[in-house]
Amino acid sequence: MQQPALTYDERDERALLVAEVRRFLAREVRSDVIDREGTIPARVREGAARLGLFGLTIPERWGGGGLSLGAACEVVSEIARVDRSTAIMIGLHAGLGTHGIAAHGSEELKRAWLPKLASGEAIASFCATEASAGSDLTALSTVGTATPSGLRIDGEKSYVTNGGFAGLFTVLLRTPGLGGARACSLVCVPRDTEGVEIGPEEDKLGIRGSSTVTVRFDGAVVPFSHILGDPGGGLDLVHGLLGWGRTLMSAGCVGAARAALDATLAHVATRRQFGRTIGAFGATRAHVAWMAARLHAMETFVRAVGEREARGASIEAPSAIAKVFASEGAFTMADRALQLHGALGFLEPVGVARILRDCRITRIFEGANDVLLVRIGAGRLASSESRDHAPSNASLVALSRRLDASVKEARARFGIGVVGQQLVLQRIATATIALEVGCAAEGDGPVPEHAARLLAEEGHLALDALGRAEADEAAADAIASVLDGSS
């Protein structure tokens, strides 16, 4: 996929920033210590603030760096290569935490908060998930009620990233008095607002240094100027903000995948079995080739999403594709890295197990992949638009034609009833992801060519499984009825 070229100054500026970030990480960040102690040390947050990492995407007018989404992704990827918890802290702040304020906040809100958020004096958080409302944001129970003194907020948010030390929370809540019975709004709530209560840190499988808490709102009142955008328009804003959030999270997956490949290359070059290094064996080389091709595909597609955003085009759908592909890819790469390390990889001090644990959550948060696959599939069936770039690789051209035919057949067969055919939608989505990412990854050279071929194969396998969707669903129903005792 052809991308708009950066100017020399832009390339130089990015390279200088990434180099400075690398020096900071080498000097201050110990991922094993962060994982073991379950917290990001204050000196790391302070160092990140001095480096301007909390102001990455905040406009220069408010003291930030004014970087594009693509440039911020490069920084987050570099951080994630060393420590995923720190990358999540920065990425969440730069995306869901501050982008909504910069793009949709009132002048009063921007003036009061963006300089603090840019300097790191305050760190941002985002509150959407509830115990009964994860991927289904329409099930929210947190509510905002208009009062003479402002908007009163009551409810509870779960799994709030950065919540333990955040100074400002952006909260999605129902506001039936502002825009109708089903209306939702995005509202900024300062930590020191009376009625805000922060719960204890969660004990997690991975990203153990990342702060994750429950936040309760018991009659917390904020001015109406703290509402982002139009009252009642919160869900529409969230979908736009998630485009940024998912892209930055995908960049973190790229960094983690790079760390997994780096560790693997170092290990297979020195580990000897049967008289030679294991990197000389064909099976090992096939693993490494797959990892290199997958990383290339992840990098190029995340970069393409950033460039698309820079052109002013919507990234809602591409960011969902990036999130699914990169999170699944990073986890599988970490798993292959552990496998190639053998028993050594299972030992925590080696660090590969930590990469694997840290990658697991990315398949769940900011939209569980199973749910996103259904949405991506539904979007492909509903869309009549052609993709930005037609593939040139012969394998991808064949996949494109077959996918178009499968979409046409599914439309004719199911009509609007396809929304209830989740396996059909997921398999259409898997083929769509393979094709879209393949178009970004294709090019000259062994790695791009291998990436395109592997993605085409994955797309065809998904379409092969499409014909079995109804049979698979019937089998699943039969087994479920036995397990729940209803048969």
Three-class DSSP labels, the chain: CCCCCCCHHHHHHHHHHHHHHHHHHHHHCCHHHHHHHCCCCHHHHHHHHHHCHHHCCCCHHHCCCCCCHHHHHHHHHHHHHHCHHHHHHHHHHHHHHCHHHHHHCCHHHHHHHHHHHHHCCCCEEEECCECCECCCHHHCCCEEEEECCEEEEEEEEEEEECCCCCCEEEEEEECCCCCCCCCEEEEEEECCCCCEEECCCCCCCCCCCCCEEEEEEEEEEECHHHEECCCCEHHHHHHHHHHHHHHHHHHHHHHHHHHHHHHHHHHHCCCEECCEEHHHCHHHHHHHHHHHHHHHHHHHHHHHHHHHHHCCCCCHHHHHHHHHHHHHHHHHHHHHHHHHHHHHHHCHHHCHHHHHHHHHHHHCCCCCHHHHHHHHHHHHHHCCCCCCCCCCCHHHHHHHHHHHHHHHHHHHHHHHHHHHCHHHHHHHHHHHHHHHHHHHHCCCCHHHHHHHHHHHHHHHHHHHHHCCHHHHHHHHHHHHHHHCCCC
pLDDT at res. 387: 60
Please indicate whether residue 366 is annotated as part of the active site: yes
pLDDT at res. 114: 98
Q: Say which range, 113-127, 196-210, 410-424, has the weakest mean pLDDT.
A: 410-424
Q: Say which range, 42-46, 116-120, 177-181, 259-263, has the weakest mean pLDDT.
A: 177-181
Confidence of residue 388 (pLDDT cuts 50, 70, 90): low
pLDDT at res. 10: 61
More confident residue, 477 or 254: 254
Choosing from 28, 74, 328, 366, the catalytic residue is: 366
Global pTM value: 0.95
pLDDT at res. 14: 80
